[in-house]
Amino acid sequence: MRSCRLVVCACLLSIASSAAAHGRFPEAQQLVEHPSDPEMLGLSTTFGFVVSRDGGESWRWICRLATGAGATEDPVFAIAADGSLLGGVFGGLVRSPDGCLWDRPEPALTGRVVYDVVRHPTQPQTFFALTSDGGQANALFRSDDDGIHWSPTSEPIAPILFERVRIAPSDPRIIYLSGAYPRTASSPRRPFVHRSRDGGSTWEALPFDFRSEDERNLRLLAVDPARPEVLFMRVVKDPGAGPERLVRSEDAGATWETVLELAELTDLLVGPDGVVWVGGKNRAAVGEGDAGAPPSSLHGLWRSDDGGNTFREVRGDLSVGCLAWRAGALWACADNYRDGFALGRSMDEGATFEPVLRFEELAGPVECPPTSDTAVQCAMTPGDADIYADLHVEPSSATSSSGCGCRGAGDGPAAFTTLLPLLALWRRERRHGGV
């Protein structure tokens, strides 16, 4: 029994070292596409950004440090018309023409928390970025030159914490913002939706009521592509506080109705045929929540055939991190180790998925000159845990028949199934906390 404990302790120390070095359990979170080149794709993950230039046949990795993202951030990325990578991080708006050299091109955004970056639906060179600094005035910024120069669309607002910006595809003059006014000594935290009908020059404030004290923020998910007055939004809860609400508005944000509740809502997609797809993560599958608790059934892939009024479960066995529609197929991020793929595509409306990327199939770091930002920042040193050992973990083989063991590819850190609660100490979602 003592030897078994020693093995488990060694596993704990190995995983602790790895988690401290890389900060997060490996997960895929956001699929981004080039506006005109179907061969160029990007995938935001908890360990950095991975890029494909051949339509998903092969992928290469850019570490978080090169992009300027911290260990507890979930940056939002976009691909510009000229192929540059744009990202919103806690230190500003970052841009790279090739994934090797990184810059913060706009002084007005440098040092600011840039919380969301989205492309204009009809003008590929135009982007919007949303700042969300606690205690500072925040605003929506616009760039018309692929993210090089930026200017606010209106006067900044303080104090306010913006969460998401969404633009109506059928009428880009209509823009929605969501977020919350922080708690003060005299008032509680107050959620809001802002609406502009003139491209962001002026705004209308639309109130929203939280249903309970553990509801924290509002994250706009999508505007219906054909109906600019139909919106979908996630009501973000404190971690572990119970199911989150998906709410829908048919009157441009004036009123809202709860249409679905999942353990953790992650993404929503309105397909070209009007089908509404919703994804949810299974936090028990990645070691969060109560140790030993059974996986929640309130996750997976869901669909609505009536515009988002009612939903039915399609795949309850998946832990969905993102959704996209491209090349006539439904694409989804999933749990690489339990679902068998990090990114997959379905040609049969979600019934089955063909793996597009498994983390263990990464071709390696992005190929860059040795003096470039990415090459220098992402260089592996003897003091760092090997990223590939992290990604090759096999949770199902974490324990031996005797109840103790620690095995992974290349003798790297393993035992994620048995020791997942430890990883929860490091894994944090990018939320506004404490205000």
91 compared with 387, residue with greater pLDDT = 91
**Domains in the chain, please, with CATH?**
1-26+393-427 (no CATH), 27-385 (2.130.10.150)
Amino acid letter, 374: T
Instruction: Give the Cα separation of 216 and 160 in Å (integer).
Output: 14
Instruction: For residue 387, name the pLDDT band (cuts at 50, 70, 90).
Output: low
Instruction: Give the Cα separation of 237 and 216 in Å (integer).
Output: 5
What is the per-residue pLDDT for 76? 96
What is the per-residue pLDDT for 283? 67
Average pLDDT, the chain: 83
425 compared with 201, residue with greater pLDDT = 201
* Average pLDDT over every residue of 334-347: 96
Q: Which tens digits make up the pLDDT trace of 108-127?
A: 999 999 999 999 999 999 99
Dig out the tokens for 11 from the structure. 């596993």
46 torsion bin: left (phi>0), alpha (psi -120 to 50), beta (else): alpha
Residues 29 and 430: beta-carbon distance below 8 Å: no
What is the per-residue pLDDT for 338? 92
Q: Which of 170-179, 238-247, 361-370, 413-422 has the lowest mean pLDDT?
A: 413-422
What does the angle CA 238 – CA 239 – CA 240 come to, to the nearest 5 degrees? 110
131 compared with 428, residue with greater pLDDT = 131
* Average pLDDT over every residue of 24-40: 94
What is the per-residue pLDDT for 159? 85
What is the per-residue pLDDT for 407? 33
What is the per-residue pLDDT for 91? 94
What is the per-residue pLDDT for 325? 97
What is the per-residue pLDDT for 5? 35
Dig out the tokens for 298 from the structure. 């309130």
Q: What are residue 346's phi and psi, to 5 degrees?
A: -125, 130
Q: Are strands 354-357 and 343-346 parallel, antiparallel or unpaired?
A: antiparallel
19 compared with 225, residue with greater pLDDT = 225
Alpha-carbon torsion 221, 224, 225, 227, what sign?
Answer: negative
What is the per-residue pLDDT for 298? 85
What is the per-residue pLDDT for 424? 32
* Average pLDDT over every residue of 149-173: 95
Instruction: Give the Cα separation of 304 and 301 in Å (integer).
Output: 11
Q: Which tens digits make up the pLDDT trace of 283-313?
A: 665 444 444 444 456 889 999 999 999 999 9
pLDDT of residue 260 exceeding 70, the answer is yes
Residue 60: half-sphere exposure toward Cβ, Cα within 13 Å: 15
Q: Which tens digits make up the pLDDT trace of 342-368?
A: 999 999 999 999 999 999 999 989 999
DSSP secondary structure letters along 320-348: --EEEEETTEEEEE--TTTTS-SEEEESS
* Average pLDDT over every residue of 233-257: 94
* Average pLDDT over every residue of 414-418: 31
Instruction: For residue 254, name the pLDDT band (cuts at 50, 70, 90).
Output: very high
What is the per-residue pLDDT for 420? 31
Q: Which of 191-200, 235-244, 312-321, 398-407 has the lowest mean pLDDT?
A: 398-407
Distances (CA, A) of 221 to 89, 232, 268, 295, 340: 19, 6, 6, 25, 26
pLDDT of residue 421 exceeding 50, the answer is no
pLDDT of residue 4 exceeding 50, the answer is no
pLDDT of residue 231 exceeding 90, the answer is yes
pLDDT of residue 258 exceeding 50, the answer is yes
Instruction: For residue 380, name the pLDDT band (cuts at 50, 70, 90).
Output: low
